[in-house]
Amino acid sequence: MHRVGSAGNTSGSTRPRKEKRFTYVLNDADDKKHCAGINCLAYLKGSALSTNDYIFSGSRDGTLKRWELNNGDASFSATFESHVDWVNDAIIVGEKLVSCSSDTTLKVWNCFSDGACTRTLRQHSDYVICLAAAEKNSNIVASGGLGGEVFIWDLDAALAPVAKSADTKEDEVPNGNSGPTLTTLCNVNSSGNIASSNGQSHGYSPITAKGHKDSVYALAMNDAGTLLVSGGTEKVVRVWDPRTGSKNMKLRGHTDNIRALLLDSSGRYCLSGSSDSMIRLWDLGQQRCVHSYAVHTDSVWALASTPSFGHVYSGGRDQSVYLTDLSTRESVLLCTNEYPILQLSLQDDSIWVATTDSSVYGWPAEGHTPQKVFQKGGSFLAGNLSFSRARASLEGSAPVPVYKEPSFIIPGVPAIIQHEIMNNRRHVLTKDTAGSVKLWEITRGAVIEDFGKVSFEDKKKELFEMVSIPAWFTMDARLGCLSVHLDTPQCFSAEIYAVDLNVAGAQEDLKINLAQETLRGLLVHWCKRKQKLSSHSLPNGDSSTGKDGPSKDSPRSRSEVDDGTENHATHVLPSFEFSTASPPSIITEGTSGGPWRKRITDLDGTEGDLPWWCVDCVTHNRYPKENTKCGFYLHPAEGSPAPNITQGKLSAPRILRIHKVANYVVEKLILDKPLDGGSDGAFAMGLSSGQSQLSALDNSSRHGLKPWQKLKPCVEILCNNQVLSPEMSLATVKTYIWKKQDDLILHYRVVQSR
């Protein structure tokens, strides 16, 4: 997975730790839909606040979405965006939505809000996988995750201290922790800015249920909040008193990971689903398993029971949903899906199904009168040995599903499952779960061509370009969409000529730094709003809001040559303009509150915890100058009568074109002034410590005919006895023709004039 990097500099340290990473996520054009598997569902019945029912879905794309249910239709209502990794579970607690994620946090939201996170709870040290709540005690929530951690939170106590001390200065400690692990509560204030305060300093820390030695995958709590059950990779069901965190008992019987748990409202009976393909019914009073049900042919990952706890709906890896009568052991195949089932939510006469697909499916379920389903026929008696169903399936007696088609579908968009960065380091080829192949331009976050369902490998070969640009970003598609990661100083290593981006009126030698311009495009809304906030008193003498360009202590960096172009933070080149209709989201570490995620259009200028190097780049034009030079030797070709014109190693920008090298050769051989009236007036070829600078080769202009077409006599540049194309860059020659780590060796020869 993508782990967010460590926090930036801490007070008092002379050398900062690894700088904070800056990530941006390219959202699909249809951002009202999920673009990765659905891990969880939470249902909210209509109330005085809203007469409509809602269903909330949490996805592997890192977001939750609210859907309004009306007359058999589900319409998009809001996106809840702040988690920076998979959302693994979500529950409704009163009018609050609580979610947990692989980013190690729990987040609290108002169910009826526009999607702003109100609190972040930090205590887990690894992925948080599951949640449970007490139906009648609407402030108790349990969370479990990898590493065997189980915490019981009193939401009222956890959230109240932050509200009282929202204005207090946060503790100046890395990650909000000093010494032992502390709870950190994060408050997103009304402006959307994330502030943090150390939970333990306000006297609150969640109750810890200690005992699991390994990962916890499932939790359930009774209505009163007096009983908690947990299960995971230890294959046992543990029973706890959530009020104290003390162990009550341990129930053995499953032979593989426990993946799903249910408790009846009284807390007497417990249902468990396991990777051993079995469902077990436990009597907690007797501390034993009273029934086991073999209905699935593979892992059971999801359970949902009728209100009376008389029937259970189950789903899992075998892509099937079964309905089982717990007393008669009668079972029926309700429906089959195309994807493994991750969670079930039973509401009245419908059951909502979450799968590894990005869509949510609603099936008929007869939740009030499940006997009606059995009357449709096709039922069988559930065995009590796991191999019985597998054997029956092999023998060809697989049951026929009662329902063939879902009654509802909340469609998602296909997740990206394959991607390839093109050699120009601006385009990325992707393939999604539907087989569609698309070409993205990541410097403006848009699909520039949709090729449809074609061969990914064939299209990759077809789009191959012999160009060499440094790898200035890394990326992954873990969230079902493209996440682009920028790390300083590596991200500033790639330059390109402005004319290659068709920048209007740009001089030929103007160089563009890809990371700098991309950051400008991503943070332009933040910059404008920050400037608005500080328009009356500019801090640090920053003149970026003025029309005079950067201040004298902010060196120009769009080019080594000052081209006179407007260069302040809010000036974005067309090739770096990101959509405002489906804007990308940025992910970055906060301060002690941990990482956060926000749409670029939702940044309001108050976010003070963006990585300092990003802010320095877009507001002051300052960034680390990576070595963008290429050293090479230039000699006459074998058998050529041309004299040797250099005495040592030359140095020039990696992106310098071969026709500029040819220009230089002609200049040295014949002319006594720069070719084509180059702006520099001198080529500055004096040797210093055995190395010549070829920087002035960057300065000849391209008016009318291309320069190499004007050359008399004509000079060819060769590498490894191969004549080089005039448009090739030094970096391309080194990568594809020279193919060695040593300094590049070029040869020149005079050919007949054209």
Highest mean pLDDT among 364-368, 378-382, 731-735: 731-735
pLDDT for res 197: 37
pLDDT for res 592: 64
For residue 229, what are the contacts with CB-CB under 8 A and spacing of at least 6? 219, 220, 221, 237, 238, 239, 240, 261, 263, 270
pLDDT of residue 220 exceeding 90, the answer is yes
Report pLDDT digits (tens) over 596-650: 899 999 998 888 889 999 999 999 999 988 777 888 999 898 888 888 888 788 8
Nearest C-alpha neighbor of 353 from the set 339, 333, 366: 339
180 alpha-carbon distance from chain centroid: 29
- Mean local confidence (pLDDT), 454-483: 94
pLDDT for res 425: 94
Report pLDDT digits (tens) over 709-741: 454 568 889 999 999 998 899 999 999 999 988
Q: Which two tokens stand for residue 123?
A: 């205590």
Helix/strand/coil percent split, the chain, to 5: 15, 35, 50
What pTM was estimated for this model as a whole? 0.83
Cα distance between residue 685 and residue 670, in whole Å: 15
For residue 452, what are the contacts with CB-CB under 8 A and spacing of at least 6? 436, 437
Q: What are phi and psi of 54, to 5 degrees?
A: -130, 150
pLDDT of residue 559 exceeding 70, the answer is no
Per DSSP, 737 falls in state I
Query: How far are the Cα atoms of 131, 162, 374, 381 from residue 140, in angstroms, in the given order?
Result: 11, 18, 37, 39
Report pLDDT digits (tens) over 433-462: 999 999 999 999 999 999 999 999 999 999
pLDDT for res 664: 87
Cα distance between residue 562 and residue 569, in whole Å: 16
Half-sphere exposure (Cβ direction) of 414: Cα atoms closer than 13 Å: 14
pLDDT of residue 40 exceeding 50, the answer is yes
- Mean local confidence (pLDDT), 465-471: 91
Q: Which two tokens stand for residue 503?
A: 């920048």
